[in-house]
Amino acid sequence: MRISEILKEDKITFSLEVFPPKTSERYEETAAAAKTIAKLGPDFMSVTYGAGGGTGPFTAGIAAEIQDEYRVTTLAHLTCVSSSREHVLHMLDVYREKGIENILALRGDIPKDGQISRDYKYAAELIRDIREHGDFCLGGACYPEGHVECIHKSEDIHHLKEKVDAGLDFLTTQMFFNNDVFYNFLYRIREADISVPVIAGIMPVTNPKQLARSAAMSGTEVPQRFRAIVDFFGDDPDACRQAGIIYATEQIVDLIANGIRHIHVYTMNKPQVAEGIMNNLSAILK
Contacting residues for 16 by C-beta, under 8 A, at least 6 apart: 37, 40, 42, 45, 46, 264, 265, 267, 274
Q: Are 58 and 30 in contact (CB under 8 A)?
A: yes
* CB of 147 or CB of 270, closer to ligand FAD: 147
Phi, psi (degrees; rounded to nearest 5) at 105: -90, 120
* Alpha-carbon span 209 to 138, nearest angstrom: 32
Binds ligand FAD (CB under 6 A): choice among 1, 36, 109, 246: 109
Helices (H) then strands (E): counts for the chain: 12, 8
Does the protein bind ligand FAD through residue 271 (CB under 6 A)? Answer: no
Q: Is 116 in the site for ligand FAD (CB under 6 A)?
A: no
Q: Is 174 in the site for ligand FAD (CB under 6 A)?
A: yes
- Confirm if 48 and 268 have CB atoms less than 8 A apart: no
Q: Which is nearer to ligand FAD, 63 or 141 (CB)?
A: 141
Q: Is 158 helix (H, G, I), strand (E, B) or coil?
A: helix
CA 237-253-214 angle, 5° bins: 45
Contact 127, 165 (CB under 8 A): no
CA distance 156 to 263: 23
For ligand FAD, what does the binding mask look like between residues 205 and 244, x meaning CB under 6 A? Answer: ----------------------------------------
Which contiguous run of DSSP H or E holds residue 131? helix 123-132
CB 242, min distance to ligand FAD, A = 26
Site track 40-59 with ligand FAD (rule: CB under 6 A), x = hit: --------xx-x--------
List the one residue from 37, 66, 91, 106 that touches ligand FAD (CB under 6 A).
106
Catalytic residue among 5, 9, 17, 69: 17
Please give the helix or strand (H or E) that residue 18 lies within, else none: strand 13-18
- Least distance from C-beta 259 to ligand FAD, angstroms? 21
Residue count at the site for ligand FAD (CB under 6 A)? Answer: 23
**Active site annotation includes 97:** no
Contact between 130 and ligand FAD (CB under 6 A)?
A: no
Which of 61, 163, 185, 276 binds ligand FAD (CB under 6 A)? It is 163
Give the closest residue to 139 by CA, choosing from 180, 178, 100: 100
CB of 183 to ligand FAD, least distance (A): 18
Q: Does 7 bind ligand FAD (CB under 6 A)?
A: no
Residue (109 or 254) nearer to ligand FAD, CB: 109
Does 119 participate in binding ligand FAD (rule CB under 6 A)? no
Q: Judged by CB, which is closer to ligand FAD: 175, or 229?
A: 175
Calculate the alpha carbon distances from 25 to 20, 22, 142, 268 in Å. Answer: 12, 9, 33, 19
- Please give the positions annotated as active site: 17
Instruction: Report the interface residues with ligand FAD, using CB under 6 A.
Output: 48-49, 51, 77, 79, 104, 106-109, 122-124, 141, 147, 149-150, 156, 159, 163, 172, 174, 201
